[in-house]
Structure 1
Amino acid sequence: MRVIGSVVVIAVLDGGSGADLARRLTAAGAVGVLIADQQAGVAEDLATELDRPGCRVVGVGGDVRRPSDVAALVDTAEKHLGPIDLFCVAGPDGERIVSLCDLPDHLDLERLAELVALVGEAIGEVVVPARRRPVQDVATV
C-alpha cells in the first residue's frame, strides 16, 4: 500500500476513531486526507489539527453505511483533494484500508457501486455482527 503522494478518505463509524489512522497517514506522506465522522464537529476539529502545507486535510460529516453519503464523500474529496487512492473505514473493532487503484478513474454509477461494495466489506471486517445496525438510504425508501 503506497501512502506517499496519496489522497485518502477516512470514514469513521459509530464507536470508532479515525484520529490515530489520520495521524499515521499524514505522517506517512499522504498529500490529502478527507475525514468523515458521524458525530458532528469531530472530523472538522481533527482536520483543523492535522491540516498543513503539503497535506491538505478536510473534515466533514457522513455515514458510509449510506450509499448516498459515500457518493458525497467521493465528490467532496475529489473536488478538494483530487482523485482518491485509499478509502479507509475506522470502526469500533478496528480499521480497514481499501486501495482504489483497481477501480476505473472516473466516477460513474458502476465505480460507485464497486466502491459501496468494498466499503460494505470493510465495515463487516471492523464491526462485529452483534454491533451492526441497519441503515436505510433515504434514496432507496
Structure 2
Amino acid sequence: MRVAGQVVVIAVLDGGDGDAPARRFAAAGATGLLLAHPRVGVAEDLAAALDRTGCPVVGVSSDIHQPSDIAALVDTCEKHLGRIDLFCVAGPDGERIVTLADLPGDLDRLAELLYPLSEAIGELLPPQREPVRRTAA
C-alpha cells in the first residue's frame, strides 16, 4: 500500500491507539493526517505534537460509530487537507485500513465509507460474549 503523497484519516475506537499509526503514516510520507479520537483532547494533543511542514495534522474528537461523525470527518478532512485517500480504524485488536481508491467512484463519499468502516469496526472490536443460558434444574 502506497502512503507517500496520501491524505490519511486515523479514527481511534475505545481501547485503540492512534499514536503508532499516526507516526508510521507521517514517517512514510503522508501529505496530511486527520486524527479522530472519542475522548476529548486526545487527538488534538497528538496532532499538535506531530504537525509539521509537508504533513499537516488535524485532530478532532469524534465517535465513528455515528454516521454524522463520519460525515463531519470527511468534511473536515476535505476542508483542511484535501480528499481522503486512506481511512485507518485503530481499535483494541489492531488496525484496519480502507483504501478509498478501491471504492466505487460514482457513489457519495459518505455512502462509500459507511460499509467498509462498519466492517473494519466489527473486525477490531472484541467479539461479544454469548449470554449464559441457564437451564432449569
Letter in 2 for 1:117: Y
Match status 1:61 vs 2:61: yes
Partners of 2:21 and 2:78 lie apart in 1 by 20
2:114 to 113, 116, 129: 116
* Root mean square deviation of aligned Cα: 1.5
Matched to 2:84, the amino acid is: I
Tell me what 2:134 maps to: none
Provide the rounded CA distance (Å) in 2 between the counterparts of 1:119 and 1:27: 24
Number of residue pairs the alignment of both structures matches? 129
In 1, Cα distance between equivalents of 2:75 and 2:106? 11
Q: CA deviation at 1:36?
A: 0.2
Give the structure-2-normalised TM-score: 0.89
Mapping for residues 15-54 of structure 1, pairs under 5 Å? 15-54=15-54
Percent identity at matched positions? 69
Provide structure 2 residue ranges, at least 5 long, that are not aligned to the other structure. 130-137
User: Where does residue 6 of structure 2 map in the other structure?
Assistant: 6
TM-score computed with the length of structure 1 as normaliser: 0.87
Evaluate the alpha carbon distance shift between residue 106 and residue 62 of structure 1 in structure 2; reply closer, same or farther with a 3 A threshold. Answer: farther
Task: Give SS of 1:116's match.
Answer: helix
Deviation at 1:113, TM superposition (A): 1.9
Gaps of 5+ in 1: 132-141
- Correspondence 1:67-82 to 2 at 5 A: 67-82=67-82
Amino acid at match of 1:46: L
Please identify runs of 4+ aligned residues in structure 1 that moved more than 6 A. none
